Each structure stands twice: as structure tokens, then as C-alpha cells.
Amino acid sequence: MTDPFLLSMALIVFLSIAGLSVGLAMMCGSFLYLIMKGYDPSIASEQLLQGLYNGYTLLAIPLFILAADIMNIGSLADRLLRFCQALVGRFRGGLGHVNVVSSVIFSGMSGSAVADAVGMGKIIIGLMTRDGKYTASYAAAITAATATIGPIIPPSIPMVLYALVSDQSVGFLFAAGLAPGLLMALVMAVMNYIIARKRGFPTDEAVPMSELPRITMQAFPALMLPVILLGGIYSGIVTPTEAAAVAAAYALTISVILYRSVSFRAFWETLSSGARSAGSIGVLIAGSITFNYVITREDVPNALATWLGSMDLGPTGFLVMVNILILLLGCVLEGGAILLIVVPILIPAVQAMGIDLIHFGVIAVVNSMLGLITPPYGLLLFITANITKQPLGAIVRDIWPFILALLFALGIITFIPDFVLFLPRLLGYQG
Amino acid sequence: MEPVTTLWQRLAALPRHISALLLGSMFAVFILQIVFRYFLNLPVGWTVEWVTIAWVWGILFSFAFVVRQGDMIRLDIVYSAVPRAVRRAFDIFTGLTCATIFIYTLPAAWGYVTFMEIERTAYLRWPFDLVFGIYIPFHISVIIRMLLTAWGGIMGSRTRDEVDLHPETHDYD
Amino acid sequence: ADKVELIYSDTVSENDIRTTTLREAFGACLGDEFEFKSYHGATLFKQGTEMTAMQRGNLDMANLAIFDFYNQIPSTAILGTPFLFRDYDHMRAVYNSDVLDGMLAEIEEKAKVKILSFPYIGARHLGYVGDNRIMTPADLEGVKLRMPPGEGWQFVGTAMGASPVPVPFTEVYTALQTGAIDGQDNGFPAVRSMKFDEVINHIGKTAHLIAANEFTISMSKWNSMTEAQQAKVQECADNFEAALDKVTLDQEATLEADMVANGLDVYTPDNAAFQSHVIEVYQNSDYSKDWPAGMIDAIIAIGQ
Ligand code: NA
Ligand code: NA
């Protein structure tokens, strides 16, 4: 590694800490590196343009954002929640369980944790805190924690990002996420039950069984969406990238025809805000693409692989190291940044260790989603704090048990590869 | 004077409409592609190309003309914790550094984009200097925005709304 | 004296045997006067962007595909025509002859890159699921054949008589298994590495594309070297071509024998029928409009 490389790294870190857009900071670092090395500075522009132009799988990102937005402005999210309440509201810690189950179902339609927290989160936090049944900080904490399931159960934007950097099949990655996602839901439901007993949270008023068919019928079109998406992907009718467009089209059709709940004006607003999100996310991705050139040119992946190899860890020790590394990075970095910058550096070493790349992908994605709820920098913490107007500290206090529960799930996912890989193998994965 | 205001507002809203149109066309063309391939058994190639071009344009166009400072993805943990004076110093430093680097590299970037005239896209056969043309307005808009950021730091005129994080912009996680 | 630095980029993965072969047969062959830095897996430059990178002086060498030249030198399209070569020996004889000299000169003059050698990377065959053998173009009618995404590739499928379907490479296994497609057209190494041989039951050795890469250096780099250095680079490029030819041929023979042993039906279809059909389709299409006059006959004549 040369001085220009270390200087450009330092510039990126400092510009980011000083509040510059992370994507622009990485572009600045890349330009600086090229200038100091005496290379053609336009290489950064070339990498940015060609990287975006050739990243076909990236196209799923704006479409999933669009799909989630449409589900929120239509009444699909509302109807789903009523269904979940009828199903599990009657148990101890009832609305907490409703929160878990609704996250599972919603995650089958959306690829984004933040979309889940914003969409379902607003409604369910309102339900939980009404009449003072649950403290606002607990409602915020469990909403943030369960939203991490969103990108684990397919479809999933982070899995698409990982597929891009690791050259693995999106279809197999999606299949690999299902069991871990359900496990995460299970450990959080158990934790909710334990806390509800200890703190004396109420059960929810039971919805009469006679009401269940009607409520199910109302939620039925929404419940069908995960089935349609996964069916479409695994029967080969649509690619995982196209599935994002199908999700958006389905949500739009249902909202307009069945529920008459979306006007053209509202749809156009959604498109416009979706494009704005795509702009800010796209520039982050673009920045990481340009800096990736610098990392490659400096042979950083080889150096890292050599370093890891020299420590003489077995695959198990290596995975423990990597998990700790990503957890620590997750405290200060975005999940997307971890997947786009840090994970590609690790992949050659992962291959050399003989670790399965699909298994590793699920570990990396689950772990980086944990980063969304670990302080100090946890996006889901910020969002639920914003919804509930609670101080961050109170939410952090209530979220610790859930972080522990998720760490337990991460342990199982890391050390029992078959638990992750049995489903992709059923679908033909050869790893 | 009211019609003038309306006209101005309409003009100001135009970039938002264009970016919405780009995303909308990605959505529509993707659906077209599925319909053509699986229901009419007619594989078409231009759809993928259109969607890809709309994505490149959508990102760079939105960032250049639509995205607000607060929409950008930033690590504001330190920034939001330091006193106002330090924040102004940060703004001046980041604004000037970034603007200088982008001004210095503008000629090279221009050179690359115009050079790409010799290559064409696979289906639509569009020259790549047009496909990549949106990069230049993007590059220039970064320069202008960063100079404004630095200026805001010098004058102390940046509002909280301008720099606060908008949570809905982090949908990619 | 300063070493001559050669920055190289390709799309083959770091662990592939072709990468090892390149480093040994070319990189090590160059000796102390050169510093050969190779980047693999499209990590330095994306697939298809290496040529412009070389033209802008940001990359010295690459192993290109013939389609990479099409935008700037349309006449090169002829070398991507299916059934142009009867077999490996025919392909090698054509590249060793002077038939292509005019085209190579045009490439050096207009595209400012120099092709040093044409290493063989393998032949593509029809691998499919079915009850009957496919022997002629007529047998391919209605067969959903996966071809790589891209207009030129899709047309290869059409010209052979199939219904081409573009599916991303990593999704082909699942698509074969679910019946979304009936077949694909990769060579033996790719069929094995992607485990397609577990979900297909026939391989018809059409060898419809006998593919060689274009091992290329930028003219600016070439002209910056002394004559002795140029001679060394050319010698090692030829060395690399010979080494990669051998690696590929050995691998194809081994894998074919292994697949036959595993019960796969590997046979040779009526390739003469395919050849006349495909060449005719191409000659009647836009794809032949850039072919240099008389070249197709000259190439076919070498194979007689
Ligand atoms: Na999901
Ligand atoms: Na965090």
C-alpha cells in the first residue's frame, strides 16, 4: 500500500466524519488517489459510469423502494396488520407478537428493512402505545429489531448487492435467507414473551374466531404477494430483478382496482420520492464503485487475504473474526456500505478457506442488518426514535435483549451451514 | 403576479417530474419485458438497455437536480454532536475540498465522456457519449453545491432542515 | 534501467487455470526486463470496457473477445460467425495464415491496439434435456435454447434453428431444472463448473463457435518499447497461445470422457447441415453486411 492510498483513505474518513455525503467522499478519495499517482483522473468517472451501466442486478433497488412505497400508500399494510392481530394478538405480549409476525409477512414483499420500519412501524407503534399498554420506547425497540428480518426473508436488496459483489445466484441467496429469517422471528418472539411476563405487558383483546375469515379475506390479496413473487422466481417466469417490478405492479393493481386507495397524483408522488431515494443511494453505490478501483489497483484484497492467512485461522476462527469485524463496523457504518466495500475485500479469503459463498453471504447480510440497531450509528434506531419522539438512550436500553437474541440466531446461522444451505440445495444449489 | 409564480413553480418542479418519469419508465418497461418474453414468447433486448440507461440517468439526474442536501447519505454522528462553530468549519472544509477536486478533474471527465462517442450500445445503437452525457451536469452540480455548502459555512446561513437526515432516504438497507 | 510495466485486465476469475497459465506462460516468460501486473475477474475494468481503457492509455493489455471490436471495426464481425471453422485445426490454420492480415492492419491503424495472438478458449456445443437426439437445424425447432443475453448471441440461436432465450449465466442451472429452458450452448469446462451436466442428458458436439480470444496490447505501449522488447512480448504471447491451446484441448478431452462415463449421451450431429444452414442465414442477414469481400470463401477454403 502506497502513501497516495493511505492519504486518500484518510481524506474519505475525514470528509465523511465532517458530514459530507459518503458517496461524494469516496469519489473525492478516488480522484485524489489517481491525481497523486499521476494516473488519468477520468478513470474514476469511467468506473462510475461503467459500473452503474453494467450492474444489471442493481436495477432491483429502485423498484423495491417503489413497491414498498405503494404498499404503504395503498391500504395493503393496514389490512395485513389487522390480520396479524387476529392471529396472535391473544397471546402474552400480544401486540409484540403482532409486530413480529407482521414483519415476517411484510418482509416477504419488500426488500428493505427501512421501508418495513417506516411503513408498518408507524401503524403498529400507534397500536402498541395507545392506552399506555406498552412503553413507547419498547414499541420503538421491538419495531426496529423486527424490521431487520425484512432483507433476510426474500426478496432482499442487500442480498442483491451481495450477489453483485460475489457473483453468486440471487435465486439461491434468496432461498438461503428464508430459514434464517424465520429463526430471527422465532428468537425475537421468545424474547418478547419473556419480557412481557417480566414487565407484565397485557395480552390484546382476542379477536373473535368468527371474525377471522372476514379479516383474512380482506388481507388475502396482500398475503398472496410473497407467494406470487417467490413462485415467479423459482418457476423461472421472472428473474429476481424483474420480481421487484412485479411486486410494484401487483401492489399498484390491488390498491387501485380492489381498494381504490391510490390516486394517480399519489402514485406520481411515490415515483418522484422513489427517484430521489434512488439518486442518493445510487451516488453511495457509485462512490463505492470508484473507490473499488483504487482498492483493486493497490492489491488490498490480496494483502488482506495474506494477512488473514498468516494468522492461521481455520474456517471457524475466520468466521468468528469476520463476524466480530462486521459487528464493529456495523456500529459506525451503513449496512449497504459494509456489503459494497468491506465484503468484496473478504471474498477471496472466504474462497481460499473453502467457505461456501452463499452461506457467507447470509452471514454477512444478517450481521450487517444487526448494524442497523446497534448504537451509536443505527439507522433503524434513528427512524423509530423519530416516529416515537423518544430519546435514543431509552430505545437502546430496551433493544439490548433483542440484540442478544439476534446474536444467538447469528451464532446458529454461522456455525450450522446446513441450516442455511438446505433450502438452496433442495432447489438445485451445488455448494 | 400570480401566474408568474405558478409558472416559476412549475419550472422548478420540472426536474422532479423528469426523474419520476425515468423511474416510471423503468417500471413500465420491465413489465413490458416480462409480458413480451413469457406471454408472447418474444424476447426483446432493447428493454434491458432502456432500463439500464434510465437507471444511470435517474441516479445522476436526480442527484444533480432533485436530491436535497438532507437526502444525501451521510454519517452525521459526529457532525450533529459538535458545536455550531465546528460544524461551520466542517462545511467550509468539505465544501472547498470537494469542489476543488471536482473542478480539477472536470476536463478529464469531459474528455472521457466525449471520447466514448466511438462506442455504441448493443441494441439501440446509441452512441455512448450521449448515454453517459448526464455525467457532466452531475459533475458540475457537485461543484456548485459544494461551493454553496462552503459559502453557507462562511456566512453561517445553513438551516437545520438543510442538513438534518431524512430517514426515508435510507431505503436501501 | 526501468522495467517496462504491463498492466493487464481480464474477466477470468483469479483461481481459474487460464489465469495460472497466463502468469506462467506469458508473465514469467517476459523475464526481468518487464513487470507484468495482471488483474482478474473484471475487478480492474468491466467486461467490454478494456478496449477503450487501452485506447485512453489507462490499460496496457487485455484478452478481448471478438465482439469487443465490432463497434470500431465492423468487419471483425465475420470472426464471430458460428460454423466459420470446422474444427480446432481449421481455426488455428486460419489464424496462422495471411487471410486476416488486412483486418489486423486496419485494427492497428483505426483502433490503436495490436493483436499479439489468438489463444483458444474452447468450443461451444448444444447441451440439452430431451428424449431424442438433435441432428439437424430442423430438430431444433421450438427448442428453448438459452443463449447469453445480447442481440448477437440471440441471433446465433435463431440461425441454428432454435428459439433463443436470454438467461443470466448464474440462473441457467435452475432454469434447466424447472424446464424454463430446454438447453444451453456452453463448452465442456463451463458445463462442468456450473454442474449443468447433472440436469441435461445430451451433448451434441456442434462446435458451433470455436472461440479464440484476442490477446491484445495498446499501440501506445507497443510503440514505447524497443525492438528487442517488442520481440520478447511477441514471443511470450505466442508461448501463451500455445500453452492455453493445450490446456483447453486437454480439459475438453478429459471432461468429455468423464461425462460419457457418467452416462451422458455425447455425439456429433450433422454439422455440415448446420454449417450450410447457418452460413446462409448469416449471409442473408444484416450481420454479413460488414464482412470483407471474399473473406468467407477464403476462410472456408483453408478448411477444405
Ligand atoms: Na424481504
Ligand atoms: Na449500527
Domain for residue A26, yes or no?
no
Under-70 pLDDT residues of chain A: 1, 56-57, 110-112, 115-116, 118-120, 131, 233-234, 236, 240, 301, 304-305, 332-337, 340-341, 376-377, 386-387
Q: How far apart are CA A149 and CA A152, in angstroms?
A: 5
Residues B16 and B86 in one domain: no
Cβ contacts from A onto B, under 8 A: 237
A5 falls within a domain = no
B161 and B90, same domain (yes or no): yes
| pLDDT tens digits along C99-142 | 999 999 999 999 999 999 999 999 999 999 999 999 999 999 99
Structure ipTM: 0.88
Q: How many domains does chain B have?
A: 2
Query: Do C150 and B45 make contact, defined as CB atoms within 8 angstroms?
Result: yes
In terms of Cα–Cα distance, which of C237, C255, C256 is closest to C245? C237
The verdict on B53 and B73 lying in the same domain is no
The three grid cell numbers given for residue C198, joined into one nine-digit string: 447433472
Q: Which domain holds residue B166?
A: 69-173
pLDDT of res. B168: 42
Q: Compute how many other C-beta atoms are within 10 angstroms of the C-beta atom of residue A331.
A: 14
Residue of A nearest to B78 (CA): A17
Closest to C61 in 3D by CA, of C237, C245, C226, C212? C237
Task: Give the Cα separation of B165 and C36 in Å (integer).
Answer: 47
B62 and B73 share one domain: no
Given B27, B52, B67, the domain boundary residue is B67
In a domain, A359, yes or no: yes
Interface contact B118-C149, CB threshold 8 A: no
Mark which residues 231-260 of A lie under 8 Å from C by CB.
234-237, 239
pLDDT at A118: 66
A372-391: b or e for each residue (b if 16 or more CB lie within 10 Å)? bbbeebbbbbbbbbebbebe
Q: How far is the CA of A226 from the centre of ligand 2 (A)?
A: 28
C34 conformational bin, left if phi > 0, alpha if psi -120 to 50, beta if neither: beta
C-alpha angle B117/B118/B122, rounded to 5°?
A: 95
Q: How many domains does chain A have?
A: 1
> Same domain for B87 and B170?
yes
Among A43, A236, A428, beta carbon nearest to C180: A236
- The reply to whether residue C171 touches residue A171, judged by beta carbons under 8 angstroms, is yes
Q: Tell whether B76 lies on the interface with A, counting CB pairs under 8 A.
A: yes
- Biggest CA–CA distance in chain C, Å, is 66
Q: Does B31 touch chain A (CB under 8 A)?
A: yes
How many Cβ contacts (< 8 angstroms) between chains A and C? 66
Dump the DSSP string for A90-143. Answer: TSTTHHHHHHHHHHHHHHTT-S-HHHHHHHHHHHHHHHHHGGGSS-HHHHHHHH
**C168 interfaces chain B, CB cutoff of 8 Å:** no
Using CB atoms, which residue from A40, A171, A427 is nearest to C57?
A40
Query: Are C84 and C78 spatial neighbours (Cβ–Cβ below 8 Å)?
Result: yes
Residues B44 and B96 in one domain: no
Mean pLDDT of chain C: 91
**What's the CA-to-centroid distance between A158 and ligand 1, angstroms?**
9
Looking at the structure, do residues B122 and B142 belong to the same domain, yes or no? yes
pLDDT digits 0-9 by tens, C18-65:
889 999 999 999 999 999 999 887 778 988 899 999 999 999 999 999
The ligand with the least distance to the CA atom of A375 is 2
Q: Dihedrals φ, ψ of A153, to 5°?
A: -75, 130
Q: Residue A359: which H helix or E strand, with range? A: helix A357-370
Neighbours of chain B (3+ CB pairs under 8 A): A, C
Of B43, B45, B120, the CB nearest to C71: B120
Question: Does residue B133 sit in helix, strand or coil?
Answer: coil
Examine the domain organization and report whether B58 and B75 are in the same domain. Answer: no
What pLDDT score was predicted for residue A329?
74
- The rounded distance, in Å, linking the Cα atoms of A402 and B98 is 40
Of C5-14, C37-46, C260-269, where does the model show the most confidence? C260-269
pLDDT of residue A418: 92
Suggest the residue from A16, A112, A262, A283 to mutate for an interface test with chain B (most B CBs closer than 10 A).
A283
pLDDT score, position C259: 95
Mark which of B37, B67, B97 sits at the end of a domain.
Answer: B67
- Cβ contact, residue pair B77, A332, below 8 Å: yes
Q: Do B45 and C56 touch (CB under 8 A)?
A: no
Partners of residue C2 on adjacent β-strands? none
pLDDT value, residue A77: 73
A169 contact residues in C (CB cutoff 8 A): 170-171, 173-174
Which H, E and C letters describe A229-272, residue by residue?
HHHHHHCCCCCHHHHHHHHHHHHHHHHHHHCCCCCHHHHHHHHH
The number of beta carbons lying within 10 Å of the beta carbon of residue A11 is 21
For residue A247, which ligand has an atom nearest its CA?
A: 1
Half-sphere exposure of A98 (CA within 13 A, CB side): 32
Same domain, residue pair B42 and B110: no
Amino acid at B77: I
Are B82 and B143 contained in the same domain? yes
Q: Which of C59, C71, C147, C181 to mutate to test the interface with B (most CBs of B within 10 A)?
A: C71
C193 at interface of A, judged by CB pairs closer than 8 A: no
In a domain, A81, yes or no: yes
The amino acid at A329: L
Q: What residues have CB less than 8 Å from B106, skipping those under 6 apart?
A: B139, B140, B143
Are the Cβ atoms of A348 and C171 closer than 8 angstroms?
Answer: no
Which parts of chain C are beta strand (E)? 4-9, 34-39, 61-64, 113-117, 120-128, 144-147, 163-166, 183-184, 202-212, 214-218, 265-267
Compute the distance between CA of residue C85 and CA of residue C81 in angstroms, rounded to an integer.
9
User: Which three cell numbers mark C22?
Assistant: 497466463
Query: Which of B67, B98, B120 is where one domain is finished?
Result: B67
Using a CB-CB cut-off of 8 Å, the residues of chain B touching C149 are 45, 48
**CB–CB contact B75 A56 (8 Å):** no
Cβ contact A284–B73 (<8 Å): yes
C-alpha count within 13 angstroms, C-beta hemisphere, residue A113: 31
Q: How confident is the model at residue B159 (pLDDT cuts 50, 70, 90)?
A: low
Q: For residue B160, name the pLDDT band (cuts at 50, 70, 90).
A: low
Q: Are residues B57 and B142 in the same domain?
A: no
